[in-house]
Chain A
Amino acid sequence: MNEHVVLMQGNEAVAEGAIAAGVRFYAGYPITPSSEIAEIMARRMPEVGGVFLQMEDEIASIMAIIGASLAGKKVLTATSGPGFSLMQEGLGYACMVEAPIVLLESMRYGPSTGMPTKVSQMDLMQSRWGTHGDHWIIVLSPASVEESYRLTIRAVNLAEKYRNPVIVLSDETISHLREPIDVSVSPTLTDRKLPVEKSGYLPYRTDISLVPAIANIGTGFHTSFTGLVHGESGFQTANGHVAEALVERLRDKLFNNLDDIIQFETDRVEDAEILFVSFGITARGVSETVETLRSRGRKAGALRLVTLFPFDDDRIRQAAGSARTIIVPELNSGQLVLLIKRVFGDSRKVVPMNKINGDLISPQDILDFLQEENL
């Protein structure tokens, strides 16, 4: 056995992935099921020359990482449902000032305090639309411990590259799952683009990438940051044209790069007559179901979304093949299915499959569902 293969918990993989990606600042507040990340970071950050801060709440946690990010650090916070709700105002601020931050959200059963130790996928739409106003967020969805490690590294790189918040949308089960992972590969790291010339420096002026080269605080460039609508100078304005250009740029800096950002996995989609579209922990039950159905002679396939947002209808349409029936299993009352229905309209039969009792969707659940629904 490879000596670099270690047994790790999902939350530990996030913490170690973040460290491998260069994160040297963590601020957070304890909450089930993400607390292990804070505990690990409390020990690990000093070891790698980083800073760990336990803040007074999640509002303070996200603001502290934004401050540290603007001062040049790669940063992480981790939370779950109720704490994620508190972080929403900070998330919008990070979008607006273009602070590279990474947020691990481990979905537990909601609403409100819900069932803290039970799994759900109920925060999918919150991860996209939780903060107010038109904004764009990158959301990545791991389905294993190994992928928690890898996607956390990717999240840090994407945050730096696009100067945008990135959410790793995990869940209670993956957070607490233990699986062997190989940590021997040194990741490729991305650093934010920084300005060179002080003369004529405009923090929010962009080149064709539409990503501004904003100086880190304390490097002599004297930048103004504000959550108010601002032009290239960073100074606030109520000019509608400037506002429109800003919000469009925040969208386009991501949407011009969908090939780079969007990832998904397909399994035997080509000839599939019945297709499962899922994400995260639910995709694991789907994988086994596809095996079983194939062994019984049914042409089943699967599409797993690794990048949840930005969500691109055309890419999903192309990836989905020609299956007439599309099943969308998820641990909520129907969130991803809304997007899938939007993609296909009436051209396919899109069937939601929902489980909201705090348990996972098992392969048997899916087989039973197919039988009950005559699918």
Chain B
Amino acid sequence: MRLDFLRSERLPNIWCPGCGNGIVLRALLEAISQLQLDPDKVVLVSGIGCSSRAPAYTAFDNVHTLHGRAIPTATGIKLANPDLSVIVLTGDGDCSAIGGNHLIHAARRDVDITVVVFNNYNYGMTGGQASPLTPAASITTTTPSGNMDRPFDLVNLATGAGATYVARSGIYFTKHLVDHLRKAISHRGFSLVDAVAQCPTYYGRFNRKGSAGQMITSQKDWMVLKNVADKKNPEELAGKVVIGEFVNIIGARQADIDAAKEQS
């Protein structure tokens, strides 16, 4: 990773000890580094929440927008200047609750941006409330007797909405995460990476998930690589989270665009 991608004068960051956000950011900077993108042409756009503070620690142009609004802002930036690599850094609540409508429509339009979801299963910034990605039955400050709602499966949501690149990874699998971020950024079209991290301060503590280190290493117990999962039956995968590449469609929109041109 290129150290000059970070604004060292703005460190240390605001994240709690043991937070997973730094590892996701590190993986992202590594992916950008490996792709040898021109730093002048990379823009990081975020909403509101712990993870949305990440862009301002980087040396790229960065836009910290409003809660849930990173994706439409990124859409405007990308269409105003298609030469830019526009990457949205967002959290589970920011992207799937308040920003959920923007997420599905950007996926439907196949806007050429990359959305990286720092998924820690709760709202960390405001004190550990439930998000649409909080697992059922989990304890949060707004589900004191257990979450009665079912969570979204972000991969299925993005896929159903028409995203042309969808992957999930976890911060324990750092190389896996970097590889999928790299593929997402270089994908032409709407790409999303569900990057599962941990919030030891709230979600982990309320749900007795152990220390930050234990939360990270436990990912190898409850995450299953997609090529392994493909050979297992649903019973064997109960309680597991599958990681890997789920959608990778190249030139998906070309037929639609050609048809529209034909019309006009």
Contact = CB atoms under 8 A, between A and B. Distances in A.
Given A60-B72, A63-B66, A218-B40, A51 B101 contact: no
Interface in A124-140: none
A71 B84 contact: yes
Interface string B33-69: 0000001110101000000000110011111111001
Given A223-B61, A227-B65, A51 B40 contact: no
Contacts of A217: 43, 61, 63, 77, 81, 84
B102 interface: yes
Contacts of A51: 79-80
Contacts of A93: 65-66, 69
Interface in A202-241: 217-228, 235-236
Nearest to B73: A67
Interface string A2-28: 000000000000000000000001010
A285 interface: no
Given A59-B72, A93-B65, A72 B102 contact: no
A179 interface: no
A275 interface: no
Contacts of B83: 218
Contacts of A97: 63
A70 B77 contact: yes
A56 B101 contact: yes
A220 B55 CA distance: 16
A357 B74 CA distance: 42
Contact of B61 (A65, A75, A218, A226): A218
B46 to A, nearest CB: 9
Contact of A68 (B45, B69, B80): B80
Given A93-B66, A217-B43, A217-B63, A72 B81 contact: yes
Given A218-B84, A235-B10, A64 B76 contact: yes
A61 B101 CA distance: 13
A20 B77 CA distance: 22
Contacts of B10: 235
Contacts of B187: none
Interface residues of B, number: 33
Given A218-B61, A225-B62, A68 B40 contact: no
A225 B69 CA distance: 14
Contacts of B226: none
Contacts of A227: 64-66
Given A56-B102, A60-B102, A225 B79 contact: no
A55 interface: yes
Nearest to B75: A64
A252 interface: no
A273 interface: no
Contacts of B71: 60
B40 A72 contact: no
Interface in B75-115: 75-81, 83-84, 101-102, 105
Given A224-B56, A226-B56, A235-B10, A68 B76 contact: yes
A90 interface: yes
A25 B80 contact: yes
B66 A71 contact: no
A65 B72 CA distance: 9
B71 to A, nearest CB: 8
A270 B159 CA distance: 69
Given A218-B40, A218-B61, A63 B77 contact: no
A63 B72 contact: yes
Contacts of A55: 72, 75, 105
A72 B43 CA distance: 14
B81 A218 contact: yes
Contact of A63 (B39, B61, B73): B73
Given A60-B105, A63-B69, A70-B63, A218 B76 contact: no
A248 to B, nearest CB: 22
Contacts of A89: 66, 69
Contact of A67 (B41, B56, B72, B105): B72
B40 A67 contact: no
A49 to B, nearest CB: 12
Contacts of B55: 224
A156 interface: no
A150 interface: no
Contacts of A223: 61-62
Contact of A224 (B62, B65, B84): B62
B40 A220 contact: yes
A73 interface: yes
A61 B41 CA distance: 24
23 contacts: A25-B76, A25-B79, A25-B80, A56-B102, A60-B72, A63-B69, A67-B76, A68-B77, A68-B80, A69-B80, A71-B76, A72-B81, A73-B80, A75-B76, A90-B66, A218-B41, A218-B61, A219-B40, A223-B62, A224-B64, A225-B64, A228-B64, A235-B10
Closest CB pairs A-B (n = 8): A67-B76, A64-B76, A60-B72, A68-B80, A71-B80, A226-B64, A67-B73, A63-B72
Interface of A: 25, 27, 51, 53, 55-57, 59-61, 63-73, 75, 89-90, 93, 97, 217-228, 235-236
